[in-house]
Amino acid sequence: MKCIIDRRAQFSASHRYWLPELSEAENIEKFGLCSRSPGHGHNYVLYVSMAGNLDEYGMVLNLSDVKQVIKREVTSQLDFSYLNEAWTEFQQGLPTTENMARVIWRRLAAHLPLVRIKLFEHPELWAEYEGNNMEAYLTISTHFSAAHRLALPTLTLEQNSEIYGKCARVNGHGHNYHLEVTIQGEIDPRTGMMADLVQFQKAVDEFVVEPFDHTFLNKDITYFAQVVPTAENIAVHIRDLLEQPIREIGAKLHKVKLIESPNNSCEVYGLKQQEPLGQRQVPELRLCSV
């Protein structure tokens, strides 16, 4: 039986985004605060996903052996290091989160049956790499607080209460929404970036967080005047709002995950890259838990 297992590891390291072929002004314009000398540091958390068949002992791999491979090939070399000088790969392309995930894959692929490398630079920024040449995924997480009421305007209170329960109460209720936005793109071999992280964050803030935060969604967001603001519908609307801005920074919107509460979350996937805006299909939704 096929099974995927994960092994967690961690290391602390510093890095700097700086290209010697650019002037100081050009580096500052391109990389912002990350260009400051002598650099800055992070506590990285690494998840290594591996696939295989269960053996007679009920294991895919001996995790003690996996731990030693990851330590030997990655963490012992990167822990308390200056990443720009730690590996030759980071002299060719900067040690961004997405490029680090790609290079770690290359370092481990000869030793482990990899299916995914997931690297957290901090809890609100992480990258995933699945062995597809220079293609990677980059996720930022953020939050906003908003109120809503689940009710169809064409139904009575009694009818809405039968469908939505307490969520149909006339004065609504609120949530601290947690939002994860994942983009997909090609890593630039020199900068190590698949998209400008500052512009990525700016797009999410400008089109979602600022308009949605501290609102009553049904009344303050025009779209929800006639559309019930369920977690699923909110996620779809966020997807639609971000499609074009993400394309404009040179990436593809891969996924929006909206966590309404610890018990309820929803994922919606982006449109295919080749589909023109306007030729929309029914979005793929996944309700994670209720």
Residues annotated as catalytic (active site), given as ranges: 167, 214, 260
Burial 93-110 (b: 16+ CB within 10 A, else e): bbbbbbbbbbbbbebbee
Tell me how crowded residue 282 is: count the other CB atoms within 10 A of its CB. Answer: 6
Contact 146, 212 (CB under 8 A): yes
